[in-house]
Amino acid sequence: MGTAGFNVPAAEVSIAASVIALGAVVALVGFFAIFHGYAHGTEIPSGATALSFGYPSVISKPIGHSVSPSPLQALYEPLGRRMIRRLCENRNFHLGSHASG
């Protein structure tokens, strides 16, 4: 928009406000993370250390999130396939079919 010559009033003020708002959100998440961590810390059995209690979760969470599809992925994947199929059909590409002979 700037290169096209549009004048956006108070652009700098809007940028500053967005930085402040994002900082407030990050601070709020950090504030609640303290209580979340405290709750997990109270769940540690008396004979275990924080490392021995937490490492299975630290290892399994990324694996579980990378293997299982999220609800958004399940929603958008069919849409993405339809879009790719339409683009390919418009350019005479064929998905999933091979010419024999």
Do 57 and 88 share a domain, yes or no? yes
Give every residue of the chain whose pLDDT is below 50, as ranges: 98-101
Which pTM was predicted? 0.46
How many structural domains does the chain have? 2
Residue 101 maps to a domain: no
The structure tokens 């003020």 sit at: 13
What is the rounded (10 degree) CA torsion for 78, 84, 85, 87? 150
Do 57 and 39 share a domain, yes or no? no
Do 25 and 61 share a domain, yes or no? no
Residue 27 belongs to what domain range? 1-43
| Residue 47: per-residue pLDDT | 86
Do 36 and 8 share a domain, yes or no? yes
| Residue 57: per-residue pLDDT | 77
Do 18 and 54 share a domain, yes or no? no
Residue 30 maps to a domain: yes
